[in-house]
Structure 1
Amino acid sequence: MKTLNWGIIGAANFACEHMGPAIHAARGARLAGLATSSSDKASRFKTFAPDINVYSDYNALLNDPDIDAVYIPLPNHMHVEWTLKALEAGKHVLCEKPMTMQASEFDQLITARDASGLLAAEAFMIVHHPQMIRARDIIAAGTIGRVRHVGATFSFYNGDLDNIRNKPEAGGGGLPDIGIYTFGSARFLTGQEPLSIPYAKIDYENGVDVFAQVAAEFDGFGYSATVSMRMFPRQEVVVHGEKGVLRLTCPFNPTVHSQAELHLETEKNTITTERFPGTNHYIEQVEAFGRSVTTGAAYPCPLEFSKGTQAMIDMAYAAR
């Protein structure tokens, strides 16, 4: 399999702490470039990728013919612009979520992707984790019977108003930042789309949503979610069927928050626990991206899927 030379546009903390090391560690990937004007930020990347080339501006990296793919961790409101520029420059693109601020913005990305023949995708890493894949397979196999309810919770405390997640002008807010996981996981696990969102209670601070309780209706089952940037850290997905309950602990950032586990309780009053220690879904994501580029394999999270999650977020805002 051909090794992809990756470049990162912007020296975000998340890129330095998670995605940069993942690209560096992934099979079939080489972290070749970083675009940043900050020598201090660049030096942090050199601690794990000492041979990385540093470009003083974003366009310089895009103009380098040796760069095959780019990862974009820029502020949310810049994602569409730089994804389009990267595709125009002939680069495959993995862009941090949320890739757009409204579902309709995905249309131009899909058009640009198709016209270029390149791979462009949102960095929705959870669909690459074996915990999520295993849970989807259990549901599809009918092990818990007909699904009647899906519940999802994701919360953490971030009261720093200087943090980009708390800045409305940069596309901040709890639903764009972490609601994408509670909504997207339900869609991925069940393969269904929401029919309606009859209830959404959303609290705002400093112009961004910091707490949301959302109820949705899917075909045959109900859905509820709690999303907050002002609550004690918690994350869980529970799928309740007629014949059993499937509980996913730490489904969104395992190894950071806690260990990913899958608890299956069946009608025989037994609980089976599966654990997934040590799996890095950021590495899994980079490797899946590389396989799709080099072999033509279907990518697990195409733009069309990401558009569906953003459409659900749009529905929640409209229902408040």
Structure 2
Amino acid sequence: MHKPVQWGVLGAAKFARHFMAPAIHAANGAQLAGLATSDTAKADPFRAFCPDLTVYESYDALLADPQIEAVYIPLPNHLHVEWSLKAMDAGKHVLCEKPMAMTAAEFDSLIRKRDETGLLAAEAYMIVHHPQWQLVRKLIADGAIGKLVHVTGAFSFDNRADTENIRNRAETGGGGLRDIGVYVIGGARYATGQEPVRVESTIKWQGGIDTFTEIRAQFPDFTYSSYVSIRMHPHQEMVFHGEGGVIRMTAPFNARVFGEARVELHRPGLEVQVTRFPGDDHYKLQVESFCRSVREGAEYSCPLEFSRGTQEMIDRVLERAVSL
């Protein structure tokens, strides 16, 4: 049996506190060992479920500890590349929150560093580790809905009241597209294995951030449309429409938080087959997959090259945007 991978977290972010740190603590093959924060009071909620946690007064101090093997980075978007590179320079494997980089070109330095060091570095793109997405990918590949014709996606929430949120600040790489656009875009790419050949978009800007983005694209074998917003009632859905059926995902991105993950397969004759995933935790599954790659060399299902492809499409959305 392999020794658990020793994990450290850079920063006491709310998302780390509520989701990723508990997932690391609960994951098979992982041990939550350290947290870097200059405010020791912020470490208390982490120690509540992980009493043996070591708290470091700085990110550099955590990275200097040879006992820490892997780091999770939940920092503001504009700091992701800098600290991912620093972590790899310190000999640490890296799992960094999305978007791991602000442009596709920035991924190149991460890929080079990963290859130079032989370390595992990846974007924390948890949905591909959820069995609902693996099922959808297989259904499409197996022809369960015949020839795929069109894909639609939607993801929205309303955080206008949270004015200090990094998603509402241009200087920290905020906006809906970078925060949740990765899901409607990357999800379509993952499920179909295809890349867009043409991209168009419409964006509503507010204070230097996109609060609503509509995307239209042509893939080699299907058309695509989606929208994301951080100023609308919470909603999420992905639909894959083929000549012989429809696949609908009811909670594709925040399974268990938004609701129970269900994959509906609509067939001719109004037949609907529903597969439910009531208990799967994609954050925990993500950590376990990462640890297997570190310890056993298993293939990781979301390499940097995949994340770069999603960011490349985001770049194209921004470049071709028409403002509302």
TM-score range, shorter chain: over 0.9
Runs of 5+ consecutive residues of structure 1 not aligned to the other structure: none
> Residue 261 of structure 2 aligns with which residue?
260
- Aligned counterpart, 1:247: 248
Deviation at 1:185, TM superposition (A): 0.1
Structure-2 residue corresponding to 1:50:
51
* Alpha-carbon shift at residue 319 of structure 1 (Å): 1.1
Instruction: Determine helix, strand or coil for the equivalent of 2:67.
Output: coil
Q: Pick the aligned partner of 2:174 from 169, 172, 175.
A: 172
The within-5 A match list for 1:143-162 is 143-159=144-160, 160-162=162-164
Give me the whole-angstrom Cα distance separating, in 1, the residues matched to 2:57 and 2:33.
14
CA shift, 1:44, in A, is 1.1
- Tell me which residue corresponds to 1:271: 272
Distance 2:305 2:8 in 1: 24
1:157 Cα offset (Å): 0.4
Residue 133 (1) aligns with residue 134 (2): yes
Distance 1:120 1:254 in 2: 25
Secondary structure in structure 1 of the residue aligned to 2:283: helix
Matches within 5 A, 1:115-134: 115-134=116-135
**What secondary structure does 1:74 align onto?**
coil
CA apart distance, 1:267: 2.1
Q: TM-score, normalised by structure 1?
A: 0.99
1:66 equivalent in structure 2:
67
Distance in structure 1 (CA, Å) of the matches to 2:258 and 2:86: 35
What SS does the corresponding residue of 2:49 show, helix, strand or coil? Answer: coil
**How big is the shift at 1:2?**
2.8
CA distance in 2, matches of 1:285, 1:276: 16
Distance in 2 between the 1:49 and 1:7 partners? 12
* Counterpart Cα distance in 2 of 1:268 and 1:4: 50
2:191 alignment partner in structure 1: 189
Residue identity matched to 1:161: T
Separation in structure 2 between the aligned mates of residue 6 and residue 82 of structure 1, nearest angstrom: 15
Structure 2 counterparts to residues 32-111 of structure 1, below 5 A: 32-111=33-112
Question: For 1:260-290, what per-residue CA distance to the aligned partner results, in whole angstroms no more than 9, with x for missing partners?
Answer: 0000011243100010001100000000000
Q: Larger deviation: 111-120 or 158-167?
A: 158-167
TM-score by length of 2: 0.98
Deviation at residue 60 of structure 1 after TM alignment? 0.4
Q: Distance in 2 between matches of 1:136 and 1:61?
A: 38
Deviations, residues 45-89 of structure 1 (Å, cap 9, x unaligned): 101111000000000000000001000000000000000000000
Secondary structure of the residue aligned to 2:214 is strand
Instruction: Supply the AA of the counterpart residue of 2:103.
Output: Q
Shift of the alpha carbon at 1:156?
Answer: 0.3
Query: Which AA in structure 1 matches 2:167?
Result: R
2: CA distance, partners of 1:213 / 1:137: 27
Partner amino acid, structure 1, of 2:283? Y
Aligned-partner residue type, residue 133 of structure 1: Q
One-letter identity of the residue aligned with 1:169: E
Structure 2 distance, partners of 1:98, 1:71, is 13
Deviation at 1:161, TM superposition (A): 2.0
Give the secondary structure class of the aligned counterpart of 1:149. strand
Q: How many residues align?
A: 319
Give identity over the alignment, percent. Answer: 57
User: Using the alignment, how far apart are the partners of 2:215 and 2:89 within structure 1?
Assistant: 38
